[in-house]
């Protein structure tokens, strides 16, 4: 940044009153904290499964599958065409071939049923296409024998919030959902500051996923590492500004602490500015009095408003904050 009364570019702006704001002045350190996530419940990632024995192989007999959609599967030698919810499977010369034909039919419509099938002799192995408890209780009926899928378990669930030095809060929801937002790509939800993080099969795995998500997320102002149930956080902002960052997990609030010295970001005013004057045009990224973050593109001259900070990402030069 460049001052009106100086000929060289400097790294820290001096606003009215001649007070240097921000910049690497003196010894600075980073705020840190360890967050314990042992209170978040965990469970294995499991799909519901069952082994169904086929008991009747005569033409015209049928099996009933109640998956994501219900279907009646007929054994036939006539080559009839499927007309959901009725499905037709050719009868094989052996029971093993017939069971394999049934498995192929189910797999052809696996997206419809939510079931994947595998033939093993006269036994049909059925596995839910989805993780979690949702497929527990689905039935496969052959003659008088009913086989029920079971054993599906749901991943970790829970949530925590992270509040930055501006007071802006982001909420992170740990989910077993397979929806696109439950990934490590820092996908933001429609709620603005709510994000989804995939749970792991263990607490350590979940903490590792949280750390990876925070490091990938443009909304995060921390660097994170995971170890067992503990998440180690370090402020991405040096100086005392990092001490304002805190995490709420359950009923526990944990502040990042230990940072000393001035911060490179943001350049906070020693007053509420009643406007800014930009001598050399460029982008001006500011924090308003209510904590909102706004960018003015190709700004020059006077910018009215009530501001409390200017971001180091600003490209405009010779900025003066007006009392």
Q: Of the CATH numbers 2.30.30, 1.10.357, 3.30.70, 2.60.40, which one belongs to the domain with range 47-148? A: 2.60.40
- Give the separation between CA 281 and CA 314, rounded to whole angstroms: 10
Backbone angles phi, psi at 203, to 5 degrees: -60, -40
Q: How many CA atoms lie within 13 A of 183 on its CB side?
A: 7
Q: What share of the chain is helix, strand, coil (3-state, %, to 5)?
A: 10, 45, 40
- Give the separation between CA 220 and CA 180, rounded to whole angstroms: 20
Q: What is the pLDDT of residue 249?
A: 82
Q: What is the pLDDT of residue 105?
A: 94
- Give the separation between CA 191 and CA 180, rounded to whole angstroms: 15
Q: What is the pLDDT of residue 281?
A: 85
Q: What is the pLDDT of residue 246?
A: 92
Q: What is the pLDDT of residue 155?
A: 57
Q: What is the pLDDT of residue 157?
A: 64
Backbone angles phi, psi at 234, to 5 degrees: -130, 130
By DSSP bridging, strand 86-90 and strand 115-120 are: unpaired
What residues are paired with 125 via a beta bridge?
A: 51, 118
pLDDT in tens, 182-216: 333 334 444 457 777 777 767 788 888 889 888 87
Q: What is the pLDDT of residue 133?
A: 77
Q: What is the pLDDT of residue 135?
A: 84
Q: What is the pLDDT of residue 166?
A: 67
Q: How many Cβ atoms sit within 10 Å of the Cβ of residue 314?
A: 22
Q: What is the pLDDT of residue 221?
A: 76
Q: What is the pLDDT of residue 35?
A: 86
pTM over 0.85: no
Q: What is the pLDDT of residue 279?
A: 81
Can you give the residue ranges of every domain in the chain? 1-23+265-323, 30-42+157-255, 47-148
- Block means of pLDDT (10 residues each) for the chain, 323 residues, are 33 29 54 78 65 81 83 88 92 90 93 89 87 82 88 71 80 62 39 70 81 74 84 85 86 89 65 84 85 85 87 75 79
């Amino acid at each position: 940044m460049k001052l009106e009364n100086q000929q060289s570019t400097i790294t820290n702006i001096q606003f009215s009153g001649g007070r240097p704001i921000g910049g690497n002045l003196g010894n600075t350190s980073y705020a840190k904290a360890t967050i314990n996530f042992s209170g978040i419940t965990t469970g294995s990632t499991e799909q519901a499964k069952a082994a169904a024995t086929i008991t009747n192989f005569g033409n015209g007999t049928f099996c009933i599958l109640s998956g994501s959609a219900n279907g009646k599967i007929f054994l036939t030698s006539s080559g009839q065409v499927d007309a959901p919810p009725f499905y037709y499977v050719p009868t094989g010369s052996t029971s093993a071939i017939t069971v394999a034909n049934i498995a192929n039919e189910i797999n052809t419509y696996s997206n419809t049923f939510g079931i994947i099938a595998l033939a093993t002799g006269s036994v049909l192995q059925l596995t839910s296409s989805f993780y979690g408890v949702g497929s527990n209780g689905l039935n496969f009926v052959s003659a008088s024998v009913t086989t029920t899928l079971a054993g599906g378990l749901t991943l970790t669930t829970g949530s925590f919030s992270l509040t930055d030095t501006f007071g802006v809060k982001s909420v992170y929801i740990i989910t077993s959902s397979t929806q696109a937002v439950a990934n490590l790509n820092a996908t933001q939800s429609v709620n603005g500051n709510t994000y989804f993080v995939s749970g792991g099969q263990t607490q350590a795995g979940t903490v590792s996923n949280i750390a990876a998500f925070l490091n990938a997320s443009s909304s995060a102002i921390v660097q994170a590492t995971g170890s067992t149930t503990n998440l180690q956080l370090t402020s991405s902002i040096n100086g005392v500004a990092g001490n304002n960052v805190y995490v709420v997990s359950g009923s526990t609030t944990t502040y990042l602490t230990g940072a000393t010295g001035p911060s490179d970001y943001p350049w906070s005013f020693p007053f509420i500015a009643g406007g800014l004057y930009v001598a050399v045009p460029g982008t001006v990224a500011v924090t308003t009095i209510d904590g909102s973050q706004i960018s003015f593109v190709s700004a020059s001259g006077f910018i009215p408003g009530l501001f409390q900070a200017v971001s180091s990402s600003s490209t405009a030069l010779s900025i003066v904050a007006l009392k």
